[in-house]
Structure 1
Amino acid sequence: MKTLALKLNLVLLTFCFSFTAIAQDFQGKAYYMSKTTMDLDQWGGEQMSPDQKKRMQERMKSFLEKEYVLTFNKTESIYKEDERLETPGTGRGWGGFGSSFTGGPKYKNVKEKELLQDQEFFGKQFLIKDELKALEWKMGTETKQIGQYTCFKATATKVVDQFDWRSMRRRQPPPPKKKDSAKSDDSAKADSDDPMSEIEVPKTVEVVAWYTPQIPVNQGPDDYWGLPGLILEVNADRTTILCTKIIMNPEEKEEIKKPYKGDEVTQSEYTEIITQKMQEMRDMYGGRRGGRGRN
């Protein structure tokens, strides 16, 4: 208990000294690497040779591994992809698909509880404007070092958006059962004609975050915020976001601008738009399959 109390006191002292040392108009930049793993065997990869798997993984690399920059001050932040030139032949197609399910710059104002995000969906620009929702963090005492910063562990349960591609997985086939009627045959055929019927997304995932009180802002990458220090690492389902570099008070400060382009919608309205569009695509796909089957 004495060790724990001493550790907490040291954290509080660090927090206080750091806070008073930082100027009123301070700004920081944190660089993150985001990596999502994908089991190719779930998507037919068990039929590929090792060389084919390797080539496929290389093609998907720019889709599954991205670099981001979080520019922040005491109350605001903007999180956007640090775009690089792609190697010819990598990421094509995957990047186009991903742009419809991964967002553009994300602005968070933790004082006003405001969230703004650019989002393009199949060629149309949207501006998602919503309330910044907090996770119910459970604070831990476990620590680890990330670079020069001492980080503390926090955990939470996060509700997953049904179109979050990072958590999409192939639905496990149900156990075989007796065919009671022709109706069940029709139902099975309808499911097989719908490519989305093979995909599922978990309703919730467990999140582990590591934050440092040495940078006393409650900001973090992507959707994550609300801890007494900058979040330097996040592990959620199959995605890890890790801070690789921090610059405090850069010589040239960058204005944190709110995104403003696109049709303004809430997150729930945007999800409804995607749902409707995906249903249209299902119907179109099913119609084509049905037409081919009749010929």
Structure 2
Amino acid sequence: MSVLTISDLTIKHREETLVQNIGLSIKEGDWLALVGESGSGKSVTASSIGGLLPRELIISSGSIHLGGVNLSSLKEKEWRTYRGKAISYIFQDYQGAFTPFLTIGAQFDEMLKTHLNDSKQLRKSRALECLNNVNLPGERVYKSYPFQLSGGQLQRAAIAMATILKPKLLIADEPTTALDSITAAHVLQLLDDLQKQTSCAVLFITHDLRHVQKFANKMAVMRKGEIVESGIKTAVLKHPKHAYTKALIAAIPSLKETKDRLVTI
């Protein structure tokens, strides 16, 4: 059974169509990469799944289902039970993921209080475990303010927060854009390890086919609001059918698959 099913989804801004009749299906354990150039509709699609579209954008037709629940029909109050627990996000703006005037621990605690009835001690224990799982010194980071952490540490803390409630679907929207290449590779490897442990479905928004090659098992190519090609990653990369997909692949210097894990330095 699919974790996420998008059917004939169209999103508009007034008379302008931003996303047109797209369909996607992601099963448990899938890592689906949604690729395409800036402005192709990737992030708009990702935002629509979690009910995060700006007010001026509307879903004019189609549906988004998480399991058996039609997400596109939920009211804002109903969304609170789904965001963070069933669906979780990791955004490219890791600094914006945290309130600057609260410690990381306070923000973990607030999120856990929203969804769980655990004691404060148990909530802290959960947070420390998740921070340690993403290779952070849990106790120190828990007491830190966002400005006291590096970009890589903040993004790992964001991953810990996004996965602490074991969501069915994790949406990673360009999660490494603001990081240097080495830190980005480590963050994605970490995300891959966590995904394998939990079997959650991952929707990975990116324009970098090198990351797709290494981590995804499925991919969909988006251009001007439409999905022009989709399928198993290896099939799409080795035998692309659409001219735009071929152009994307040709623009990458090398797609040699790297199977070796990176060494932590």
TM class, shorter-chain normalised? Answer: under 0.3
Q: When the two structures are superposed, what TM-score results if normalisation uses the length of structure 1?
A: 0.20
User: Which structure shows the bigger proportion of residues in strand conformation?
Assistant: 1
Q: When the two structures are superposed, what TM-score results if normalisation uses the length of structure 2?
A: 0.21
- Structure number with the bigger relative contact order (C-alpha 8 A, sep ≥ 6) is 2
